[in-house]
Amino acid sequence: MDLTPIFYQIFIGLYRASIYWLIASGLTIIFGVLRVVNFSQAVFLILGGYLAYTFYYGFTGSFWLSILLASLCVGIIGVAIEFFLLKPLYKIDVTYQLLMTFAVSLIINDATKILWGKLPVSIPLPETLGIGVSILGRTYPLYIILMILIGLLIYVSITILINRTMWGLRVRATWRRPEIAESIGINTSIIYTSVFFLGGFVAGLGGSLMVAFSPVAPGLGDFLIVSAFIVTVIAGLGHLTGAYIASIIIGVSESLFTLYVPEVDLLLIYLIMALSLLIRPQGILGER
C-alpha cells in the first residue's frame, strides 16, 4: 500500500496544527498567568493578517518586514488592551475580564470591517517560498514546511523563555502564586503586560504568515477560536506542552478524517473533545 497520501495528509494536518498552536499558545500562557480566557486571541491572529496586508501594500512591499511589523503591532495592541481595558478589572471577579476580552474580540472584528472592508484580503507569497521541496518523489510546498517549523520554533522558544530565563522564573512564580510572587518583589503588573505582549506577538506572527496563503476575512476568528478552545480544553487549560500536542492531535485528525470520513469530519473533532473531557478532564498532560 502506498503510504505517501497518508503522509501528505498528515503534513497538511501539521500545517493546520501550527495555526491552531499559534492561537492556543497565547491563550494558554495568558490563561496560565492571568487566569483569563482571552476570547480575543483568534482576533489577534486575524489582525496580524490585516496589518501585514496594510504594511505590505501600504508601506514596505517586503514580505518579511511586513510580517515583523505586523507581529510587533499586534503585540503592542495586546499590551494596550491589557493596560487600558483589563488592568482596571483585575480587582473584581474574573468573569468581567472574560466578558471584556469577548467585547474586545467583537469590537476588533467589526473594526476590521470598517478599516479593511468586508472582503477577504491576502498578500502574495514571495517567490522564494512558492517552490516545492521534493521528498521521496512527492513535492511538499516550502511555505507549508516553513509554517510547521515556525510552530515548532515558537514552542521551543516559549519553553526556553519560561523555563530558562529570569523573566520566565518571574512568570512561573506569578503563574503559581501571584500573591507570593508580589510579596517577594516581583512586579506582577509588568509580568501581566509582557505576557499579553507575547500572546499578541505570537498570534500576530501566525496571522501575518497565514495571510500569504489563506486570506483573512471578518468573522474568520469565530471559526478559529472554536478550534483553539478545543485544543486548550484537550490540553488542560494553562499547559503549554499539552497545548502543542493537542494542536497536533486536532490538526492531524481533522486532516485524516477528511481523507477517510469526509461526511462527519467536523463531528469527530467534537467527539475527541468530549472523550478527552470524560477520560482526562484535567487535560492530556494536566495535573490536579
- Interacting residues with other proteins (CB under 8 A): 5-6, 8-9, 11-13, 15-16, 19, 117-120, 122, 125, 130, 132, 139, 141, 143-144, 213-220, 223, 254-255, 258-259, 262-263, 266
- The Cα–Cα gap between 146 and 141 comes to 9
Taking alpha carbons only, the member of 284, 195, 279 closest to residue 231 is 284
C-alpha of 181 from chain center:
27
| Closer of 80 and 111 to other proteins (Cβ) | 111
| Closer of 206 and 238 to other proteins (Cβ) | 206
Tell the smallest beta-carbon distance from residue 134 to other proteins (Å).
11
Tell the smallest beta-carbon distance from residue 211 to other proteins (Å).
9
Strand locations in the chain (E): 132-135, 138-141
Other C-beta atoms lying within 10 Å of the C-beta of residue 223: 11
| Closer of 122 and 241 to other proteins (Cβ) | 122
* Cβ 244 vs Cβ 155: under 8 Å: yes
Burial zone of 286 (CB within 10 Å; 0-12 exposed, 13-18 middle, 19+ buried): middle
At residue 216, φ and ψ (nearest 5 deg) are -100, 145
| Closer of 69 and 144 to other proteins (Cβ) | 144
| Closer of 80 and 256 to other proteins (Cβ) | 256
Taking alpha carbons only, the member of 242, 283, 239, 286 closest to residue 33 is 239
